[in-house]
Amino acid sequence: MLKVDKETFKKDYEEKFIEIHGKDLSDGTDYNKYEALASLTRDYVVKMWISTNKNYNFTGEKQVYYFSMEFLLGRLLGNALLNLGIRDVCKEALSDFNIDLNKLEALEQDQGLGNGGLGRLAACFLDSMASLNIPGHGCGIRYKYGFFEQKIINGMQIETQDDWLKNNNVWEIKKPDKAQIVKFGGQVNTISENGNLKFVHTGYEAVLAVPYDVPIIGYENNIVNNLRLWSAEPLYDEFDFSSFSRGEYLKALEYKNSVEAISQVLYPDDSVYEGKRLRLKQQYFFVSAGIQSIIRHFKVYGKAPLNDLDEKIAIHINDTHPTLAIPELMRILMDEEGYGWDEAWRITTNTMSYTNHTILSEALEKWPIDMFKKLLPRIYMIIEEINRRFCEELWNKYIGQWDKISKMAIIADGYVKMAHLAIVGSHSVNGVAKLHTEILKKQEMKDFYYFYPNKFNNKTNGITHRRWLIKANPQLTTLIKDTIGDSFIKHPTDMEAFERYASDKEVQQRLHEIKISNKKRFAEYLKEKQDISINPDSLFDVQVKRIHAYKRQILNCLRIMELYRKLIENPNLDIVPKTFIFAGKAAPGYHLAKKTIELINAVANKINNDPRVNEKIKVVFVENYKVSVAELIVPAADLSEQISTTTKEASGTSNMKFMMNGAVTIATLDGANIEIRDEVGDDNIIIFGLTEREVLDYYHKGGYSAWDMVNRDYRIKQVTEDTINGFYCSDKERFRAIYENLVTYNDEFFVLKDFDSYLKAQERADNLYKNFPKWQSMCAVNIAHSGIFSSDRTIQEYATGIWGSGYLYKNL
Ligand SMILES: *Cc1c(COP(=O)(O)O)cnc(C)c1O
């Protein structure tokens, strides 16, 4: 572990400041001071990074590569200091200079290379792999522009570019000597050489993939793993510069632009299939570069012949986006390394594993054959052969069952189906929560499950407690340490011992005070950022996540509208004063999601300006939800809204963050909410809504009528009409799309069906909150049982159950 005492740190820091800024510390701006601190921290890290690498090369230990289109890391400085074990020393040292560490940390840009849960999961996994001594590395794209920044103007979402690289990014190191070439387009010719077929790729466009490495620091264990992000650059060797004079200049420029477009921007859509050629190009780009660099490294340091690759390397495919890793590895093994099909296939399938993240059919990736073939001719040939062999196996098993076979084929109906390729080409397919995995096996992928029963398994998601508890909620961390000691930091399930304090008066009082203090911290942020004041003594009722119909922000909004109507009618209604907090981005092309943001803001505008209800309710929409904002909101929440239509949220991870910070959950029995319920028991969570059975029956047999709901329940009639009768907005047409979607189009997410049950659940929440000891005890039980949702548990399961890697595996 890094040993730095306060005086050494102070000396190092002052020297570093002078070195990079050429002036004295006392003349520096806060941002100068942040830069010096980040840069010094990086220096400490680099030494461990090099020695970790040397050690991996020396031992030849199995390496895991986690391929993901998204890594939503957030800020790095605070967690780097925490994991290095020097955050306290650093804090004291800086305070000797009159510098507030928290303030410097808050100046850092988020690394926002992801949309939401999927990208954040990848980030939590990297943290856990490093902290558990697992040689596990990330592989992704260094987007020039991360996820867009959201502003709310006139109640509407406005998107602006996230120019996160405009200031020097101290957390990356460019490695030009490790660049790879990725080839697009062109033709593949088959020639015979000494009786063997050879595939010669010509006329392609070459793109240079340049890696930028980001250190991933383990918790107090001297481990620094690697996140490798690829950037696309033009390859000028390919270009005849003398041709510029012959008017080819424009062509060169065109080439440059088309190359740079590849790593220009992260697609801002969440679980919506985006049929863009550029997206396919992005996917092949990082996957090809990543696999090539793994093989190149393996050949130098691997300490084993290439046929043992699967014993030394595990490659994980996070959702279908990196699925082309499968045919790409096949291509390299066959075309470049000379293996025959069968051996290449054995190595490839043993190396690859795949996580499915969603059953939403619009999110299942597929590519038109024509487009695919033109862009990736050799990869297409390989997929065709994988498909041919797979269909042959199917024919042998399901003689004459053409329907089934064409349903399962990888290439069918004019498309290449990525999920099918991922399943066929991997040795493991996992879902992300128990219910989700069961639905995969019994519904969505049942044909594949029957064909490959042993491939399917569950790995319930998790979150790193180092960021989401220790870093985000230092006061709660202190309370837990004071009561049960600090073993939970290395063994998060030890937090169960905290349950003994659930009814301890003093602990309850401290929990309450900590919550108030976190609420004040968030209130200050909101005041500064959006000039909105909120009351820390009110109940903070929070729904923060991507805006999506299945997540049902509309359901939450409608019940606030109902409560508002009730309060106008009866101003003396005895309710707990509440602040309703929303945050989340809508994909720019997702009309209904953007309208949802508008409706929430219109409701906020009306309610917040109505003196009749101001003492009781307030609605706020927090701009630009991202990891660093989540770190402020989550510890401040009293009530966590996890209200997706049952079966639709594969797992959810913010549900775990909230419980770990002592919020009580109000939830449908969906995703990991079920497992949270199983952990805390029915008395410590508030459950409502349709069951899995009921939802699936509606989908399969029909029978849901939104009109019936409107006609049967006057409250539903009232709130739905309030969206189009001018009550919230003089333009009655503004929210017509929401109304039509709920009522006329018989909303596929059953918002109105769950409305009554949700209202009753909210009433239960209100009554529980009024009972101070009961509520505090619920908070404590939630905290105590949150340890199992640490991503350390999840990663141990991946390591032993899928990858066959890591310390635990070696000691089995
Ligand atoms: C955890 C997290 C998410 C995922 O939230 P869900 O409620 O599980 O969808 C999304 N965005 C950010 C910034 C997060 O930190």
381: pLDDT strictly greater than 70: yes
pLDDT at 268: 82
Q: How far is the CA of 582 from the centre of ligand 1 (A)?
A: 13
Question: Average of pLDDT values for 437-445?
Answer: 95
- As a whole number of angstroms, the distance between CA 11 and CA 14 comes to 5
For residues 806 and 254, the model is more confident at 254
CATH code that applies to domain 60-75+110-461+796-803: 3.40.50.2000
Judge whether residue 239 has pLDDT over 70. Answer: no
What pLDDT does 541 receive? 98
241: confidence class by pLDDT, cuts 50, 70, 90: low
* SS3 category, 70: coil
Report how far ligand 1's centroid is from the alpha carbon of 654 (Å).
5
DSSP three-state, residue 138: strand
- The pLDDT value recorded for residue 246 is 60
C-alpha angle 152-580-766 in degrees, rounded to nearest 5: 170
- Phi then psi for residue 171, to 5 deg, are -90, 0
- 199, 335 contact by CB (below 8 A): yes
Measured from the Cα of 74, ligand 1's closest atom is 13
Q: Residue ranges of the alpha helices (H) in 571-642?
A: 591-608, 627-633
pLDDT digits (tens, 9 = 90+) for 543-573: 999 999 999 999 999 999 999 999 999 999 9
In testing the pocket of ligand 1, which one of 73, 79, 118, 120 has its CB within 8 Å of the most ligand atoms?
120
pLDDT at 252: 87
For the chain, the C-alpha Rg in angstroms (whole number) is 27
- Is the pLDDT at 743 greater than 90? The verdict is yes
Q: How far apart are CA 526 and CA 621, in angstroms?
A: 10
Domain spanning 465-482+507-789, CATH class: alpha beta
The protein residue whose alpha carbon is closest to atom 15 in ligand 1 is: 627
Q: Residues of the chain with pLDDT > 90: what percent?
A: 92
* pLDDT tens string 69-103: 999 999 999 999 999 999 999 999 999 999 999 99
CA of 218 to the centre of ligand 1 (A): 22
Domain ranges of the chain: 1-59+81-98, 60-75+110-461+796-803, 465-482+507-789
**Residue 369 Cα distances to 374, 380, 415, angstroms:** 9, 8, 5
| Ligand 1 center from residue 87 Cα (angstroms) | 26
Residue of the nearest CA to atom 2 in ligand 1? 117
**Ligand 1 site residues, Cβ closer than 6 angstroms:** 116-117, 120, 545-546, 625-627, 630, 652-654, 657
| One fold for 60-75+110-461+796-803 and 465-482+507-789 | yes
pLDDT tens, residue by residue, 448-461: 999 999 999 999 99
Once rounded to an integer, what is the mean pLDDT over residues 445-449? 96
**Alpha-carbon distance 752 to 715, whole Å?**
10
Asked whether the beta carbons of 659 and 764 are under 8 A apart, the reply is no
Q: Give the number of other CB atoms < 10 A from CB of residue 451.
A: 18
Reply yes or no on whether the pLDDT at 402 is more than 50.
yes
Nearest Cα to 552, choosing from 607, 603, 599? 599
Is the predicted pLDDT of residue 363 greater than 80, yes or no? no
Q: What is the pLDDT of residue 242?
A: 58
CA–centroid distance, 294 to ligand 1, in Å, is 31
* Ligand 1 centre distance from Cα of residue 117 (Å): 4
pLDDT (average), residues 431-438? 98
pLDDT of 725 above 70: yes
What's the pLDDT at 810? 47
Answer for the pair 721, 635: CB distance below 8 angstroms, yes or no. no
Q: Compute, in angstroms, the gap from residue 548 CA to the centroid of ligand 1.
A: 12
| CA–centroid distance, residue 658 to ligand 1 (Å) | 11
Instruction: Report the C-alpha gap between 458 and 454 in whole angstroms.
Output: 12
pLDDT band at 812 (very low <50, low <70, confident <90, very high): very low
Q: What is the pLDDT of residues 118-163, one digit of tens each?
A: 999 999 999 999 999 999 999 999 999 999 999 999 999 999 999 9
Q: Is the pLDDT of residue 768 over 80?
A: yes
Rounded to the nearest integer, the mean pLDDT of the chain is 95
Which residues are 641's β-sheet partners?
666
Q: What is the mean pLDDT of residues 580-607?
A: 97
Whether 273 shows a pLDDT value over 80: the answer reads: no
| pLDDT above 70: percentage of residues in the chain | 98
Nearest CA residue ID for atom 3, ligand 1: 117
Which ligand 1 atom lies nearest to the CA of residue 544?
7
Residues present in the chain in total: 812
pLDDT of amino acid 240: 57
pLDDT at site 247:
63
Ligand 1 atom with minimal separation from the 657 CA: 1
The alpha carbon of 627 and the centre of ligand 1 are apart by a number of angstroms equal to 8
Task: Decide if pLDDT at 224 tops 90.
Answer: yes
Return the amino acid letter for 519. Answer: K
Going from the Cα of 120 to the center of ligand 1, the distance in angstroms, rounded, reads 7
Which residue has the CA at smallest separation from atom 11 of ligand 1? Answer: 116
**Whether the predicted pLDDT of 13 surpasses 90:** yes
Give CA–CA dist 345/343, Å, rounded.
5
Nearest CA-CA partner of 545 in 584, 580, 581: 584
Give the span between the Cα atoms of 651 and 632, in whole angstroms.
22
Asked if the model's pLDDT at residue 373 lies above 80, the reply is: yes
- The stretch 279-306 carries a mean pLDDT of 95
Q: Does pLDDT of 677 surpass 60?
A: yes
- How many angstroms does the Cα of residue 147 sit away from the middle of ligand 1? 13
Mutate to test the pocket of ligand 1, among 545, 648, 657 (most ligand atoms within 8 A of CB): 545
Q: How far apart are CA 678 and CA 502, in angstroms?
A: 18
- Name residue, tokens 């992005």: 282
Residues marked as catalytic: 357, 545-546, 551, 653, 657
pLDDT over 50 (residue 584): yes
Closest ligand 1 atom to 652 CA: 8
Out of 653, 661, 791, mutate this one to test ligand 1's pocket (max ligand atoms within 8 Å of CB): namely: 653
* Buried/exposed code over 332-356 (b: 16+ C-beta within 10 A; e: otherwise): bbbbebebeeeebbebbbbbbbbbb
Q: Helices 755-770 and 553-569: crossing angle, nearest 10°?
A: 70
Hey, which of 643, 654, 659 would you mutate to test ligand 1's pocket, going by the most ligand atoms within 8 Å of its Cβ? Answer: 654
